[in-house]
Structure 1
Amino acid sequence: MMPVYVSGSWLLANRLAEPQLFDVWVVEKPNRVLSRIVALPGEELSIVAGELRIDGGYRDWKNLRYAYRIWCTEEVQLAADSYTPLYKNRIYTARLTPSKADSTASIPGVRKLKKLTHNKAYFPSVFPHDPDYPWSRDYFGPLVVPGAGEELTLTKYNYKLYIRLILDEGGQLHVDGHCLFINGQETDRYVVKKDYYWVMCDNRHAAVDSRNFGFVARDELTGKAIVLFE
């Protein structure tokens, strides 16, 4: 599992490491967070029913946590540190790993357990924060992670995916009707200057990650997490 950082904790991070798939890094975007690298430059990602897919294949691991709702046939006392009661100890919510969900389903008195997902719809908090991309935390993409030297073909729609990237790389982007202007020149091309990554937290329904703030540039990864002290 990815370490859980709480206020007052100390983190040992390696600033000299190079980003590798599945490593946990300190991410300086927009505020400092810990998150796991799940997609590399040039890879195409999508999320379907909460499951991460890279280049069409499934890419996730066992210890992810998802939000669940639990219905009981009678009042059942579930551990307060893991389960939140909603109604008279008969309905609970919890963030569980799939294996923990299976064991919860076998508790006497538990009638039904359902993994909660957001529908595919426009959520203002989800990248790129635009109604033209009706993506949610659980239904997202497809989207290719840009890499240094890649030439993007821009349209009046997809530029919304890259406007922050272009601005952060020092460019100026202006839209006039159907025409795009970068640094004062009309164009539909842009050559990416940096490598970018996609990060996601293991606690999939209680985190801020690339689903909120988008691509993470290499210089926004400031240290590989090694040890967390509480």
Structure 2
Amino acid sequence: MISIIVFVILTIVALFGLWKLLVKAGKQGWESIVPFYREYVFAKLTGRPTWHVYLLVIPIVNIFVFYGLYLDFVKSFGKFRFWEHAAAVLVPFIVLPMWANDPTVKYLGLSATEEFRKKYPYKKTMAREWADAIVFAIVAAYFIRSFVIELYFIPSGSMEKTLMTGDCIVVSKFHYGVRLPITPLAFPLAHHTMPLLGTKAYSTLIQWPYRRLPGLQAIKRNDIFVFNLPEEADPPLSRPIDKRENLIKRCVGAPGDIITLKESVLYVNGQPGFVPEEGLMDYFVFTDGTGLNPERMLDKRIEFYSAGQEPYQVFLTKAELADMKTWPNIKQIIPNIAKPSDVDQGEGIFPHHPSYHWNVDNFGPLQIPKKGWTVQLDSLTMPLYERAIRVYEGNEVEVKGQDIFINGVKSASYTFKMNYYWMMGDNRHNSRDARVWGLVPEDHIVGKPLIVLYSKDKDGAWFSSFRWNRTFKSIND
């Protein structure tokens, strides 16, 4: 709340300065606070074609158009230097009122015209030329990365072999709707950590509410998408939503779906769920005593482990499983599937509560919240939904005996404000996913992966390690 108040105050101060500058230019002050008409006035005062104003309705393009008109407006008052332009963008609440109250700062004319440039020549130094080029490149890259597309490298094998470690993928920010910045004060092109320094690359002084522009399509069940890791809301990281680590998984459960896993088989609303064609499953493999040939396994890029004796733990696709069964030295292949009675030995299974004894292969049923859905609150539903109510939807939750209080009010039910999703890796037994950290809120959605731009295997020589057959491979088809 404090950050919002500060932001509003600084905006009012900046608009006050702009108001007085317009008066200096012979216009009405109120024209500074009317969107679109204000930019039309900028165009008239600078000599830019007024049709530029129509470009303001085009997402992303409108940002460049606005700042082009705005900086031309600043030039019309004789502000040509790099620091003046930087200050006009970064701290307008300081420089606009300062220039507006400086009697030596006067409106000089149409800055975008050739006559103006001849009358008020300003030759840029080589340093200024380079600085302008670098700043423009950084700004353009920042806006493209934030609002259009971003490259994402697959860091782990949780989606093998649908997506493989070493894949560089193109992620669209606009297919599901561009998420507007939540943490605007951040170092350009860094995510949450400064390169080399290891310090935070953002400030939480200003936090804007979650907003998303209309998208080209809605998320469908079984889509793959990039999202922020929900558990990084917790200490010690306590990162803002848009600065949490990016992950990529498959959305096996959409809002309103009921998710169940029975001995590793996924069910959605009581029906068998999606089985990825290239997804991995691990098996215990017994041979005739000759073992598995490491070179053969490396050539086939099959991941396997051994504790020094059989069986081997081997991760296989359906096609690789069928192939391995034909190997003459293979005697037995057993799926590594937990029974419902098996106690989880890993990192802990959602909802991390003694009332639920779920494991990676036997889970649920769990209903995924949908915006507007009302859940009855009791000792069994609270472990499932308390985190969403408290952390993701920003409510104060307190349990006193058998009574549940939300924002100080005794509550027997809760109606969700957002849609939620259930994300799992295609490599079901080597994926830290929703089975560990639970629901993914809609405000954590980053974007939709489109294609594999290129792929590089960590094994092999530099040139031969490129997986050329994966170049430009489509995702989500």
Determine the C-alpha separation between the residues in 2 that align with 1:203 and 1:16: 28
Q: Helix, strand or coil for the counterpart of 1:79?
A: helix
Partner of 1:100: 320
Deviation track 1:28-84 (CA, whole Å, cap 9, x = no partner) reads 013321101111111111001111101111012232211111001121325144143
Structure 1 residues 57-66 or 119-128, which shifts more?
119-128
Larger Rg: 2
Partner of 1:202: 426
Q: Is the 8 A contact 1:122 1:133 kept in 2?
A: no
Determine the C-alpha separation between the residues in 2 that align with 1:51 and 1:166: 29
Q: Helix, strand or coil for the counterpart of 1:4?
A: coil
Q: May I ask how many residue pairs the two structures share in their alignment?
A: 228
Q: Is the 8 A contact 2:374 2:413 kept in 1?
A: yes
Determine the C-alpha separation between the residues in 1 that align with 2:379 and 2:429: 32
- Aligned to 1:57, which of 271, 277, 281? 271
Amino acid of the residue matched to residue 3 of structure 1? L
Deviation track 1:165-212 (CA, whole Å, cap 9, x = no partner) reads 001101111111111111111111000000111111111011121111
Q: Give how far 1:85 is off.
A: 4.8
Amino acid of the residue matched to residue 226 of structure 1? L
| Greater relative contact order, per chain length (Cα 8 Å cut-off, separation 6+) | 1
Q: Give how far 1:138 is off.
A: 0.4
Partner of 1:82: 302
Q: Give how far 1:146 is off.
A: 0.7
Amino acid of the residue matched to residue 2 of structure 1? T
- Aligned to 1:125, which of 348, 352, 369? 348
Structure 1 residues 70-79 or 147-156, which shifts more?
70-79
Partner of 1:35: 249
Q: Where does structure 1 lack aligned partners over 5 or more consecutive residues?
A: none
- Aligned to 1:211, which of 405, 410, 435? 435
Partner of 1:2: 162
Q: Helix, strand or coil for the counterpart of 1:118?
A: coil
Change (3 A) 1:101 1:176: same
Q: Helix, strand or coil for the counterpart of 2:282?
A: strand
Q: Give how far 1:86 is off.
A: 1.9
Determine the C-alpha separation between the residues in 1 that align with 2:434 and 2:308: 37
Change (3 A) 1:85 1:52: closer
Q: Is the 8 A contact 1:122 1:130 kept in 2?
A: no
Change (3 A) 1:55 1:91: same
Q: Helix, strand or coil for the counterpart of 1:136?
A: coil
Q: Give how far 1:148 is off.
A: 0.2
Partner of 1:141: 364
Determine the C-alpha separation between the residues in 1 that align with 2:319 and 2:357: 31
Amino acid of the residue matched to residue 26 of structure 1? V
Percent identity of paired positions between Structure 1 and Structure 2: 25
Determine the C-alpha separation between the residues in 1 that align with 2:351 and 2:400: 20
Q: Is the 8 A contact 2:221 2:253 kept in 1?
A: yes
Q: Is the 8 A contact 1:156 1:180 kept in 2?
A: no
More strand by share: 1
Q: Give how far 1:227 is off.
A: 2.2
Q: Where does structure 2 lack aligned partners over 5 or more consecutive residues?
A: 1-160, 176-217, 231-244, 456-477
Amino acid of the residue matched to residue 145 of structure 1? I
Partner of 1:16: 174
Task: Give TM-score scaled by structure 2 length.
Answer: 0.46
Change (3 A) 1:87 1:3: closer
Q: Give how far 1:25 is off.
A: 0.7
Determine the C-alpha separation between the residues in 2 that align with 1:122 and 1:173: 30
- Is the counterpart of residue 181 in structure 1 residue 181 in structure 2? no
More helix by share: 2
